[in-house]
Structure 1
Amino acid sequence: MSAVPESTTKTPTDTGLALPANLQPDNPLWRFALAFWQFDNVQAQCLALQQQGWSVTRLLSAGWLALHGRRYSGLEDATVTEWRERVTGALRAIRQALPKADAEPGKFRAGVASLELDAERIELALAWQTLTTNDPETGDMQGSRELIRANLVAAAPTAGAADRMQPQLNTLAGTLAAFSKGDLQP
């Protein structure tokens, strides 16, 4: 194996992602995500949406904002998108490619799943930083079903995607409407 000459120019694919130095992995959005994920059917509905191209991070961000009377525009920082595509998505693809039943690959699969959860936590920290920096429009319908629904629809990957996933969105909206904010304030 030969060494790469120092004069070789790095391409964007050769460089790691630049993450903010002040990233806060333990934040209210992360705590909300952990609490919300525990409700009946939330995990199943989010994963069903994910299989259709939806981002769970976008859904969680949209729901969290709605609970705080804030609109979700559907726009996100490029760093969040890049992290999701290059890190979280890559780990998910590796985990899904591994066999579930075999003992040794099963241990490896569990390790990759743990790394995927860590990547999702960083992804949510990046989203949190954006959501608290770029003050989204405040709605006048604190946690209302209309705001919840509008935010979830804004999280759709494409126009019209929400129309095809009504049952999943209805379940998530109903759970969000009943969700108690507690100490999960912005």
Structure 2
Amino acid sequence: MTHFPAAHPRDPALSLERTKTEWRGTGDLWVFGYGSLIWRPDFDHAEQRLAHVHGWHRALKMWSRINRGTPERPGLVFGMLSGGSCRGLVFRVPQAQGSGVLDRLWQREMAMGIYDPRWLPCKTPQGMVRALAFTLSRKSPSHTGELREDEYRRIFAEARGTFGSTLEYVRRTHEELRRQGIHDRALARLLRLAHGEDR
């Protein structure tokens, strides 16, 4: 039986306090979305823009043991890993609502304390913004490391959690990226694997 290392949560309250201190509340809050946030942000925002981040990339290499899988059959969700670049969306939250939105984001994204929240420079058509992004360390127990093609196929076929299947999550992300004019070739290739295609 395959052993999947358990996640080691850090204190989400401390990271939320630190993030609020770094934001300072002196202007609007920007949030970078690269996975489910792009199709289900779950918070009100005044504006959204296409954005490009350098130095980080979207990767389907984070174990999900509740939302898109189970402890016995973990699923996958996206994380941002260092290296490369990533296209996604940034959302502008008015200053007055920023603290409350951060609270909700921590309930959704940081309940297990797995992500590393970071402020990243994001290039948008209207100029640069500094946005909050949820990144993943390769040292995290929730990082999958390299997965073989047959492992991706098995996970797509089997993994299902509280919010649905890994495959549904990946498809919805891919569909919204394409709707926004963003073409992620690595993600498209993973979806072809799910259908038994090798290219």
Asked if Structure 1 and Structure 2 have the same fold, meaning a TM-score greater than 0.5 normalized by the shorter chain, the answer is no
TM-score by length of 1: 0.27
Greater strand share, structure number:
2
Q: Who wins on radius of gyration, i.e. which is larger?
A: 1
TM-score by length of 2: 0.26
Which of 1 and 2 has higher RCO (CA within 8 Å, sep 6+)? 1
Greater helix share, structure number:
1
